Structure 1
Amino acid sequence: MEEYGQGREFTGDHQPVPQQTPKKRPGKPKTYRRGILTGVLAACGVFVCLIAIAAFVFLRGFGVGDLLSGGCLGKLATLSSIIDYYFYEDVDTDQLQTGLYKGLLESLDDPYSTYYTADEFEQIMIDTSGEYAGVGMTLTQRTDTNQVFVVQVYEGSPAEQAGLMAGDELISADGYMAQEMDLETFVSHIRGEENSTVDIVYARDGQQQEVTVTRAHVSTPSVSYQMLDGNIGYIEITDFAQNTQEQFEAAMKDLKNQGMQAVIFDLRSNGGGLVDSVTAILDDLLPAGTTVYMEDKHGERTVYSSDDEKQENMPMAVLTSGNTASAAEIFAGAIRDFHYGTLIGTKTFGKGIVQTTIPLPDGSAIKVTTARYYTPSGECIHEKGIEPDIELEYQFLGMEDQAYDVSLDNQIQKAVEVLSQEM
């Protein structure tokens, strides 16, 4: 995940394991990222609704009666007094309170539920347009070890100028250790004011190195495209952000004007994004029907559907990998279940749960896993992933020192072969 993302669940922070990647993939940032985040700050009304819900649940005590009992509060007061009296250094009360809140969410044993301080949440709310001050790279975090890896370094970015490369493990940023926090929080320490600096410690080939990177304005388109031989369009979607549908529609229009008769959607490094974004794009592609639905523990469902206004009737292929997560899996699952295209590559990550971020009155927020999601056929792919129709490991077909080209990408070439037979 990179250093931006309002309303995004940073889960390539979903934490796929970095896979073999070509020396230089075309296109823009490979996001995580990062999963589904529903109902977050899309409008002021949503903001108020979530706060009202939080207050209602708190005041009524649904599910938290034992936690807020007098015995619990009394014990907290006792612990606070003991720490204040016995701890050998002065105590930062704000830090203790933050630790208390973070510990409460960590006790859920869910890597996607977390508490954000006001400063952390302010950073996370950076506009999903992808305009921000940072260093220009996409990161992913493993759920098992909490290690953070560089998925892609943006061309011409401060990170590239500093020598950072895809595959590097980030150890710390300004002294904040990557493995001691979730990906969003770590990324908040990489972002900052334009022209300010951040000290990054990273590991490459078992050797740790440190570099000082000057932050700059970074723009991160989430869609890149080109026309391949045989009038086959190629569209890489690296993230489902707020503006991705607009970029996607522009790409489709341009490729159609060039004579596109079939299309490849590359989601191999797409870690997710906004559910509203991916379902809007599916609405552009598919006939009427349910594209995904969410169900919470109370059995309440939220259904997303496509209509008959627009749909594409050309052969399609979707490229997937272990880094294809969350919202990207919604896309792949819908294309599969509608029998609208061929999935090619390797099994997807398997993140079939939904997070909701609830802002709090003091500017802080909590992100909580609130539901599972299901593909149109009713399958929950959480911790299972989606198997492709054609299993094919990535292989670069060129020489070791040869620059990346789509003609040397075996998965893209397999998609071209399949689509050529369907045209």
Structure 2
Amino acid sequence: MNKMEERTDYRDQMYENQNPGRKSRKKRRSGGFLPGFLVGILVTVIVVGILFAVRGGSGPGGQSALSTGRSSGGAVNDEAVEKLRMLEQYADFYYYKTSEVTDEQQREGMYRGLLDSFGDVYTCYFTPEEYKSLIEQTEGVFYGIGAYVSKDVESGSCVISGIIKDSPAASSDLMEGDIIYKVNGEEMTGLELEEVVSRIKGEEGTEVTITIIRNGEEKDLTITRARVNSPTVDSEMLDDGIGYLQITEFDEVTTDQFKENMESLKSQGMKGLIIDLRGNPGGNVTTVCEIAEQLLPEGLIFYMKDKNGKKTEYTCKGADFDLPLVVLVNEYSASASEILSGAVKDAGIGTLVGKKTYGKGVVQNILPLDDGSAIKVTVANYYTRGGNDINLKGIEPDVEVELDSEKYLEDKTDTQREKAIEVMKEKLGK
């Protein structure tokens, strides 16, 4: 099952996994959080892996010209343009489905090809539509009905796989498991997940009519779209005063959600904290620093070095957090997740439990262009609080433990989380 919210995620890497730390949106009746997959159904999760430093900067399109730093005049010269025209003529003449390819598609292909030539998976081009969706993703805010939509790869049907609290969907008769048959009268059969999602999304205050199939019967539901904050933090109080807090990504809304959940746990008498970063693909610099500042002692969080060797440090004034701390990580904890987990480890204030992290130690800038499109460019390496370069290396946990997928599939036993609880109990003397 492909799973996504009412927003299209344009992210850097894709993986298929059985990962209880990723997108655990709903609580299990037995405690803990429902994993980001359903037994027997394939889930494709798209990993962000983006660490945003800033948006904007000098560049073309009415902005100051940039020096390429190359000895030559650059790749886009008169000779290259002439060859592109020749390639277009040959392809148009010989290609057997020319009528199915638009001029805009070819132009976008050229833009993508130029950035692909750098050989960096994180440096890429976004169309105006893709850039808009990317910004929604990083802000953690989108406009729609507030439901998670999944696609069963076997039947091809799109279904409601979850509903966000306090959203328009939560106030409607929409239910998890409803099959999406039509949107505003248009059949969704055969459409890609992204296409279905784009039809459900829309401007705040507008209505969308979704025809669902439930228990074999059709039902029309008209829902007014609204601004929806994506839930990126959730928590629960476990036995022995152990607070469990999961961060699924570092969006702009995450800081406030982290604070709210921390206050809730403290009010319940939290004596120790487990932060679950498993499957967290990253996010933006500001957010992870704001969260780190609530946990770390005064000093460095991490630093970056650009291609000229310029060093930029991110520091914090320090927090009065003095509870035992355990951080859960796995091979899909990337980018900003590694900044936070690396800082915790280097500062010696907590224990990392799980598997070695992803190993994304590079930073990207997002550069918007005048036509609404944008490019994402890798601009620097980053180093942990202790000066470690983790790119393509990852961070080793203090206590390594595998996720027993067979046990998890059998009875939802999360061996990594159980180990984290065991480590925390030792810290608490339980």
Range of TM-score over shorter length: 0.7 to 0.9
Partner of 2:352: helix, strand, or coil?
A: strand
SS at match of 1:381: coil
Q: Does 1:331 align with 2:340?
A: yes
Aligned counterpart in structure 1 of residue 79 of structure 2, from 71, 79, 93: 71
| Deviation string, structure 1 residues 61-97 (Cα, Å, up to 9, x no partner) | 5437231333222322333344455555456322221
| 1:33 has 2:42 as partner | no
Q: Deviations over 1:178-203 (max 9, x none)?
A: xxxxxxxx8587434354789xxxxx
Q: How many angstroms apart in 1 are the aligned matches of 2:189 and 2:54?
A: 27
Equivalent residue, structure 2, for 1:161: 177
The 1:331–1:173 alpha-carbon spacing in structure 2 relative to 1, beyond 3 Å, is farther
Q: Pick from 100, 105, 111: which aligns with 2:110? A: 100
Alpha-carbon distance in 1 for matches of 2:359, 2:194:
23
1:87, 1:226 → 2: CA distance?
A: 58
Matched residues, percent identical? Answer: 34
Structure-1 residue corresponding to 2:310 = 300
* In 1: Cα distance, 2:195 partner to 2:123 partner: 17
Q: Give distance in 2, aligned partners of 1:66 and 1:394.
A: 49
Q: Summarize the alignment of residues 363-402 of structure 1 with structure 2, pairs less than 5 Å apart.
A: 363-395=372-404, 402=411
* 1:237-295 deviation digits (Å, cap 9, x = unpaired): 11111011111111111211211111000111211111211111001110111111121
Residue aligning to 1:287: 297
Give 3-state SS (helix, strand or coil) of 1:292's partner.
Answer: strand
Amino acid in the other structure paired with 2:83: K
What is the aligned partner in structure 2 of residue 416 from structure 1? Answer: 421
User: For each residue in 1:93-143, what CA deviation from the matched residue of structure 2 results, as whole angstroms up to 9, or x when unmatched?
Assistant: 22221111111112222222211112222222226233333761599xxxx
Instruction: Decide which of 328, 344, 351 is 1:342's aligned counterpart.
Output: 351
**CA contact under 8 A between 1:138 and 1:153: conserved in structure 2?**
yes
Whether the 8 Å contact between 2:353 and 2:398 is mirrored in structure 1 is: yes
Say whether residues 1:248 and 2:268 are aligned partners. no
Show CA shifts across 1:16-74 (max 9, x none).
Answer: 55135499661797985312332445xxxxx4x3556994345x454372313332223
SS at 2:240 equivalent:
coil
| Higher RCO (CA 8 Å, separation ≥ 6 residues) | 1
Alpha-carbon contact 1:29-1:153 (below 8 Å) kept: no
Q: For 2:394 and 2:143, locate their aligned partners in 1 and report how far apart those are by CA, in whole Å.
A: 32
Contact in 1 for aligned 2:10/2:130 (Cα 8 Å): no
**Residue equivalent to 1:208:** none
| Residues 1:102 and 1:39: Cα distance change in structure 2 (over 3 Å) | same
Is contact 1:33–1:239 with CA below 8 Å preserved after alignment? Answer: no
Structure 1: how far apart are the matches of 2:401 and 2:198? 37
Q: What TM-score comes out, normalization by structure 1 length? A: 0.74
The answer (yes or no) to whether the contact 1:320–1:347 under 8 Å persists in 2 is yes
Go from structure 1 to structure 2 and tell me whether the alpha carbon gap of 1:16 and 1:330 turns closer, same or farther (over 3 Å shift). Answer: farther
Specify the code of the residue in structure 2 equivalent to 1:26.
F
Give the structure-2-normalised TM-score: 0.73
Stretch moving more, 222-231 or 387-396? 387-396
Give the one of 350, 357, 375 matched to 2:366: 357
Change (3 A) 1:366 1:338: same
Q: Is the 8 A contact 1:269 1:324 kept in 2?
A: yes
State how far apart, in whole Å, the 2-side matches of 1:114 and 1:92 are.
Answer: 21
Does the C-alpha gap of structure 1 residues 311 and 35 become closer, same or farther in structure 2, counting only changes over 3 Å? farther
Contact 1:231–1:259 under 8 Å retained in 2: yes
Question: Residues 52 and 99 (structure 1 numbering): CA distance in 2 closer, same or farther, change over 3 Å?
Answer: closer
Distance change (3 Å), C-alpha of 1:399 and 1:175: closer
Is 2:128–2:373's contact at 8 Å kept on the other side of the alignment?
yes
Give yes or no for contact 2:141–2:229 (8 Å, CA) kept in 1.
yes
| Residue segments in structure 1 that go unaligned for 5+ positions in a row | 42-46, 140-149, 165-171, 177-185, 199-213
- How far residue 222 of structure 1 moved from its aligned partner, in angstroms, is 0.6
Q: Distance in 2 between matches of 1:173 and 1:3?
A: 19
Matched, 1:18 2:17: yes
User: What is the CA-CA distance between 1:409 and the residue it aligns to?
Assistant: 2.9
Equivalent residue, structure 2, for 1:271: 281
Indicate if the aligned counterparts of 1:268 and 1:324 stay in contact, CA closer than 8 A: yes
Cα distance in structure 1, aligned partners of 2:52 and 2:134: 15
Structure 2: tracts of 5 or more residues without a match: 38-44, 152-157, 181-187, 203-207, 212-221
Q: Assess, with a 3 A threshold, how the Cα gap between structure 1 residues 3 and 110 changes in structure 2: closer, same or farther.
A: farther
For the 8 Å contact 1:10–1:35, the answer to whether it is kept is no
- C-alpha distance in 1, partners of 2:75/2:256? 46
1:45-124 equivalent positions in 2, closer than 5 A: 47=56, 49-51=57-59, 55-58=63-66, 60-63=67-70, 65-84=73-92, 87=95, 89-90=98-99, 92-124=102-134
Task: From the superposition, tell whether residues 399 and 114 of structure 1 become closer, same or farther in structure 2 (CA, over 3 Å).
Answer: closer
